[in-house]
Amino acid sequence: MDERLDLGIREFNEGRYFEAHDILEDFWQGYREPDRVLLQALIHSAVGFYHLDNGNLKGCRSQLVKACAKMGAYLPEYWGLDLAPLHASMRKQIDVIDVHWQTKAKSLELSVRPRIQRSHRIAEGYSSIS
Amino acid sequence: MATFITEECINCGACEPECPNTAIYAGGVQWEFQGATHDAISNDFYYIVPEKCTECVGHFEKEQCAAVCPVDCCIPDPNRPETEDVLYARAKQLHPDRAFAELSAATSRFRK
Ligand code: SF4
Ligand code: SF4
C-alpha cells in the first residue's frame, strides 16, 4: 500500500487535518481501484474535523455524514485499519452538533478526538501503519 | 442548474484548472466576464460564477469540478435550474471562436 496512506493517517492522528487531507487527496486522485471510496471517506473525515476546528459546523457535519456513509462498507476493519472506533466517533460528533443546534448546548466537541489505529489482525501485505 | 460549491470546500484548488469556462475562482478573488471585473461571490471558499458555468455542457460528459473534488462539494444549484439548451447556448456565447460539434454523451451530461 502507498506510503501516503500512512503519512495521511499520522497527520490525522496528530490533529493536522488539513495536511492529512492534502496527502490523502494526492493519493486518491491517482488511485483508481474500487476501494478508493474508503480513501475518500478518510478525506471526508479529515476535512470534517478541519471544519470543526474552524467553527464551520455545517461543513463539518456534511463531511462527517459523507465519511460515515462511505466507510460503512469497510467496517469494522480494512487495509489493516481499525475503522469502527473512527466511525463511531464521527457518528457521535454528528450527534453533538445536532444537539448543539437543537438545544443551544455549549458543548460542540467530543472530549477526545478520534485516532486511526492499526487493527489487531494485520491485513496481508499491509502492516506499515504505526 | 449551474454548479455550486458548498461550505464543505477545503480550498484545495483542484477544481479551478479543470473548468473549461474559467468559471471557478478562489474565495476573495474578483471574477471577470466580458472585460468587466466583479466582486467575489465568496470570500471564504472557492466559488463558481453561474453566468460562466455550463455544467460542462459543450465540453465534457460530466461536470469536471465535481469529478475531481475530493470532498464532493460541487453540486447542482437547486435554485438555478437550467435546460441543456440554455447551457449549450451559454457555452457558445462564452467561446464565440470555437466550432461546437452537435451535443453527444461525450459533451453533455443530459445525454447519458
Ligand atoms: S460544472 Fe463545468 S463549467 Fe461549471 S464550474 Fe464546474 S467545471 Fe466549470
Ligand atoms: S475541488 Fe472541491 S474542495 Fe477543492 S477547491 Fe474545488 S470545490 Fe473546494
**Predicted local distance difference test score (pLDDT) of residue A122:** 52
Q: At what angle do helices A17-30 and A36-53 cross, to 10 degrees?
A: 160
Quote the CA–CA distance of A97 and A24 in Å, as a whole number: 26
> Would the CB of B107 count as within 6 Å of ligand 1?
no
**Mutation choice for B interface testing from A24, A47, A52, A60 by most B CBs within 10 A:** A47
Give CA separation, B41 vs A106, B16, B71, in Å: 32, 15, 20
Whether the link from the prior residue into A76 is cis, omega within 30° of 0, is yes
Rounded to 10 degrees, the C-alpha dihedral A52/A55/A59/A60 comes to 20
Shortest alpha-carbon distance between residue B17 and chain A (Å): 15
Q: Which CATH class is domain A3-118?
A: mainly alpha
Q: What is the CATH number of the domain that holds B58?
A: 3.30.70.20
Task: Give the residue-averaged pLDDT of A37-45.
Answer: 98
Quote the CA–CA distance of B7 and A60 in Å, as a whole number: 9
- List the one residue out of A104, A84, A108, A77 whose CA is nearest residue A94: A108
Contact B7 A56 (CB under 8 A): yes
**Predicted local distance difference test score (pLDDT) of residue A50:** 97
Q: How many residues does chain A have?
A: 130
Quote the CA–CA distance of A47 and A20 in Å, as a whole number: 9
With pLDDT > 90 as the criterion, what percentage of chain A qualifies? 79
**Predicted local distance difference test score (pLDDT) of residue B13:** 96
Q: Which range of residues forms the domain containing residue B78? A: 3-111
Give CA separation, B94 vs A78, B36, B64, in Å: 47, 14, 17
Least CA distance to B6: which residue of chain A? A59
Which residues of B, range 6-45, sit inside 8 Å of A by Cβ? 6-10, 12, 14
Is residue B3 a contact partner of residue B76, using CB atoms and an 8 Å limit?
A: yes
Tens of pLDDT, residues A77-103 = 999 999 999 999 999 999 999 999 998
- List the one residue out of B100, B85, A57, A2 whose CA is nearest residue A38: A2
Is the pLDDT assigned to residue B73 strictly greater than 50? Answer: yes
Amino acid at B59: H
With pLDDT > 90 as the criterion, what percentage of chain B qualifies? 93
Q: Which residues, including other chains, have CB under 8 Å from residue B107's CB and lie 6 or more apart?
A: B57, B58, B59, B60, B61, B100, B101
Q: Predicted ipTM?
A: 0.89
Tens of pLDDT, residues B16-30 = 999 999 999 999 999
**Predicted local distance difference test score (pLDDT) of residue A127:** 45
> Would the CB of B66 count as within 6 Å of ligand 2?
no
Quote the CA–CA distance of A8 and A16 in Å, as a whole number: 9
**Predicted local distance difference test score (pLDDT) of residue B112:** 82
**Cβ contacts (< 8 Å) between B10 and chain A: which residues?**
18, 21, 47, 50
Looking at the 3D structure of chain B, how many domains does it have?
A: 1
Contact A59 B12 (CB under 8 A): no
